[in-house]
Amino acid sequence: MLHTLEVAALRVWMRLFGMTTAMLPFRWPRAFEGSDSSLELVRFMAASRHRRVLVVTDAVLLKLGVLDRILAELDMLGVAHVVFDGVEPNPTVAQIEAGHAVLQAHGCEAILAVGGGSPIDAAKLIGALARNRKPVVKFAGLFRAWRGMLPLYAVPTTAGTGSECTIVAVVTDPVQRRKLPAVDLALMPTAAALDAMLMTGLPPHITAATGMDALTHAVEAFVSRNARHRTDVKALEAASLILRFLERAVADGSDLEARQQMARASHLAGIAFTQAGVGYVHAIAHQFGALYHTPHGLANAIAMPHVLDYSLSHCSHRLARMARHCGVGAEGASDHEVALAFIARIRAMNERFGIPTTLSSLRAEDVNAIADAAIAEARFTYAVPRYLRRAAARELVSRMLPTPPAVA
């Protein structure tokens, strides 16, 4: 009875939260699309009269020369810049503070983030720290960047996170071994470039994992109880593009059409989940990232089929609608059958991409803590189709152990 009353209370709260979210004045970034759109973005920055810019990226991208043309364009336009390349996967509080120190030392007035979700998330919090004098961990939660952030321009080099069009930034607290999501309208970038040319060198396994990350965003936004018509349109288009183009992008990284369509899909999915929210796939994946440094896209890809299995009884009609939009499922089949076919399609994609069904680093002694933390993250935050009890959550996470527990 207690669980039933709790779920009812959560439903009421999330409905109110969803109604409030629907009224928020989202300011979507200006999007430049196509090959060399990153250079268009730089010219837009210069026209906005930014004269000293902090470029946030990671050391690998800098070494590979991915930023060479962007930096050369900044030079040609007379925009002074300093590069901070200290961002690593799952950026930490210390990395945010280090980037902020560089920004302050050079008097930068705007930020250009080039990279995957980690550099863009780091750039958001660096920009927020510049305007809000408080510890990085204090940005965790809802609407904590009261004074906004510096103008931020984003160039994603992966098609997955959608960070260039979200109001979320995630930072890892290694002391507490947890990921801290910060959510604030002020964290939305000013403009973004979806430039397939910068993605052609992405290795197949990263292309696959980030693409499945984008699919997770589309699916969780669509089955969310806070989904709206406008989020459904974006989520459906994103899922359709991913199922059409992800395998092409993985098979041939130089396929510019596939890369560009995946960049668009990631962007659309980002807009969808920013308004509708995510669910237990993300709640679990965040714990994997905090404990084991599992790349976020990989964690989502592993967890998604397991979570959809659990949620199916409460969202089969929604999954079936998405499946049919993507051309999955037999004609005349029931919603339940089509939804099962969609989950099977996700599993088949994972298998073709070499993404495992379990997490090799997951330890049995961590299962309970991971499950409990995932429940806590989702409660009062994610409008999931079906809430997890503690025992069910622990059993669900156990399915992802590298060696399944013996059946008594």
404 pLDDT band (50/70/90 cuts)?
low
> Which residue, among 262, 240, 232, 217, has the nearest Cα to 324 in the 3D structure?
240
Alpha carbons 192 and 189: distance in angstroms, whole number: 7
CA torsion through residues 335, 339, 344, 345, sign: positive
pLDDT (tens digit per residue) in 80-101 = 999 999 999 889 999 999 999 9
Angle ∠(326,297,219) on CA atoms, nearest 5: 30
- Percent of the chain topping pLDDT 70: 93
Question: Which letter does DSSP use for residue 34 in this model?
Answer: S
User: How much is the mean pLDDT over the chain?
Assistant: 93
- Give the helix/strand (H/E) hosting 54: strand 52-56
Model pLDDT, residue 17: 63
User: Is 13's pLDDT higher than 70?
Assistant: no
Sheet order of strands, 52-56 included:
30-33, 191-194, 152-156, 110-115, 52-56, 80-84
| Main-chain dihedrals φ then ψ at residue 9, nearest 5 degrees | -65, -40
Residues in a beta bridge with 33: 194
For the question of whether the overall pTM of this predicted structure is more than 0.75, the answer is yes
> Which residue, among 101, 352, 226, 406, has the nearest Cα to 235 in the 3D structure?
226
**How large is the average pLDDT for residues 251-261?**
97
Helix, strand or coil for residue 22? Answer: helix
The residue behind tokens 């073709």 is 352
Question: Domains in the chain, please, with CATH?
Answer: 30-199 (3.40.50.1970), 203-398 (1.20.1090.10)
CA–CA distances in Å: residue 264 to residues 19, 52, 137, 239, 251: 27, 29, 32, 11, 19
Model pLDDT, residue 179: 82
pLDDT (tens digit per residue) in 147-184 = 999 999 999 999 999 999 999 999 988 877 788 889 99
Ordered DSSP codes for 182-205? EE-GGGS-SEEEE-GGGGTT--HH
Alpha carbons 65 and 105: distance in angstroms, whole number: 25
Model pLDDT, residue 243: 98
User: Is 281's pLDDT higher than 90?
Assistant: yes
Quickly list H helices, 87-228: 93-106, 117-131, 204-223
